[in-house]
Amino acid sequence: MSDEFKWTNAAYHTMTNTAINQLMILHSLKENVYNEEFKREADNQRRVIEGNEPLESGKLSSIETYITAFEQQGWTKRIETNGEEIFNFTPAGEQVIALLTHAPDYLKFLPYFIVEVISRYKQDNPSQRRRNNEPTEIFPYWTFYKIIINCEGYISEDEFRRFLVKMTDRSSIDEVISTIKEYREDLTFLDENSIDEKYGDKINDTKARPLYFMHKVGLGVGKFENIQAGVILKDGKCPLNTPIYRLNENYSDFINYIVENEPSNLSDTITQNDWFAYQGASVKLREDSILEDDDRIWIDIKNLVESGLKSIILSGPPGTSKTWYAKQLALKLTEGDENKIDSIQFHPSYSYEDFVEGFIPNVEEGPNFIPKRKIFAQICDRALLNPYERFVLIIDEFNRGDISKILGELMTYIEDDYRGVPFKLPYSEDELIIPENLIILGSMNPYDKSVTEFDIALMRRFNIYEMNPDENILETILDRNAMEASLKRDLIKFFVNIQEFFDVGLGHAFFKNAKTEDDLKRIWKYQLSPIFSKEFKYDPEKLERVTELYPWRE
């Protein structure tokens, strides 16, 4: 650690009413050239909102600092294009605008959103306008979360100034955690001079003050009416009479999840565009399911889950909405929280190493390989940290992979009776538990002759829910598409009649985007006609009868 190094951060709050007003103003000015005229306009609009007169000249108040603060949050960006700097919002910035303008319903997601985006921030990056002399590989906000979660859930201002802001590399995190614990023990019997002598002076520079930093890591969100309290709480003082900042226990599980997903090392040559794409990427948020509470399939699946079944396969021929229903059911089961849903698709080359645990290059200490937990193990870990909330893993095309090869020892522990039982993974020898609150929703076409047969052993572990062509679902789709009544009636008549010609049925999802006669002609030309020609290539008479049933052929 260097005694001179400081974690620089813009000295402005981003969650005050003034800051939110400024953010909304900047959103109305996005995609414009960033120059003095732009800054004057943004500054004056805020002055007017605050009841002051606009200024045509003179010193601008704080617009530059606000924009720097919003950039550090990952919400805005300034990109040079054709010799001019253009101001714009990142996808994450568009999300925060949506969250703030859809209050109060969506505000409860704001703390999680802020934590996830700010954790991506790297101290040295192409957008950093004021750089330190000493280069750093530190992700300061993620590092803070890692340290606070491992230091009894709190950090004092003295610890922040004395230890955290001097860090330049993630490799020193464990050392700093150990030092803070020793320091706290010494505080019980050493005076401040002795502490300084043993641990070095704290940095007293104004920029090392934790106040603005703490607002960025979640202290500020507690100001909103619909949020019970911030992610970080100000909680008394330490023995050296400096404030203590404590992690709100309600967010502990989420912070653990953030800490476990360590930020990736970024290339030293990363461009400004690539940096903003990384830092400002959108976050999975809430998405309401469009299924009604009285939807028959939702009621059936809900009853299965509530009866204790945790592994369900939606099985049916092509076009029966299996994949669509899997996503909608997952949203209903998680109450719309996409952070509790993961999706994967099996295929013939998919393996255990892709699904559960595999080796990856060790980029930090190479040349060698280290085991890494993959999507299934990761969602198990997250669900285990949140035992009272449902998590859902969607596995599309379940029987297209070699199931035994992909699942390995999971074939035993995925059973409902073995949930919660720890077992060792083969490569790392780390423990994995498949928790009770993880629901597996798969989809498969059992009639596809090119894929794995679902044997009795698999059927015992997975509950098969049959999904067949359904005229009621088709009618719901067409009503949603606002199809004209007579056209809808004729299409449903065709759909019912065509089923007798197919052993497995023709799915309703072929018509999911049908609104007009032109749509039905397109569906015939590019989908139905090729399917019918293949299905009945050895029965020309039946092909002719089927073709005549469809009124919108060309």
What's the pLDDT score for residue 488? 93
Are residues 441 and 392 in contact, defined by beta-carbon separation less than 8 angstroms?
Answer: yes
Which pLDDT belongs to residue 31? 92
If we measure between CA atoms, which residue out of 417, 384, 429 comes closest to residue 253? 384
pTM greater than 0.75 (yes/no): no
Tokens of 498: 């065509």
Pairwise CA distance, residues 375 & 395, whole Å: 11
**Structure confidence by residue, pLDDT tens digits, 21-60:** 889 999 999 999 999 999 999 988 988 888 888 888 877 7
Q: How far apart are CA 428 and CA 231, in angstroms?
A: 33
How do residues 332-359 score in pLDDT, each as one tens digit? Answer: 999 888 888 999 999 989 999 999 999 8
Cα–Cα nearest to 114, from 12, 222, 276, 10: 222
Predicted local confidence at residue 226, as pLDDT: 46
Q: Which tokens in the block code for residue 286?
A: 């809430």
pLDDT confidence tier of residue 2, bands split at 50, 70 and 90: very low
Does the pLDDT value for residue 219 go beyond 70?
Answer: yes
Of all residues in the chain, the percent with pLDDT exceeding 70 is 90
Percent of the chain past pLDDT 90, that is, above it, reads: 37
Q: pLDDT tens across 59-98, in order?
A: 777 788 888 889 888 899 998 888 899 999 999 999 888 8
The mean pLDDT of 238-259, rounded to a whole number, is: 87
Question: Is 248 in contact with 217 (CB distance < 8 Å)?
Answer: no
Give the 3-state secondary structure of residue 295.
Answer: coil
Q: Is 554 a residue whose pLDDT tops 60?
A: yes
pLDDT digits (tens, 9 = 90+) for 151-189: 999 999 999 989 998 888 888 899 999 999 999 999 989
Distance CA 346, CA 397 (A): 6
**Strands 431-432 and 76-81, sheet pairing:** unpaired
Token digits of residue 386: 């949140």
Asked whether the predicted pLDDT for residue 299 surpasses 90, the reply is yes
> Count H helices, E strands: the chain?
24, 15
Phi, psi dihedral angles at 332 (to 5 degrees): -65, -40
CB neighbour class for 482 (10 Å; exposed up to 12, middle 13-18, buried from 19): exposed
Q: Report the alpha-carbon angle 101-285-407, nearest 5.
A: 175
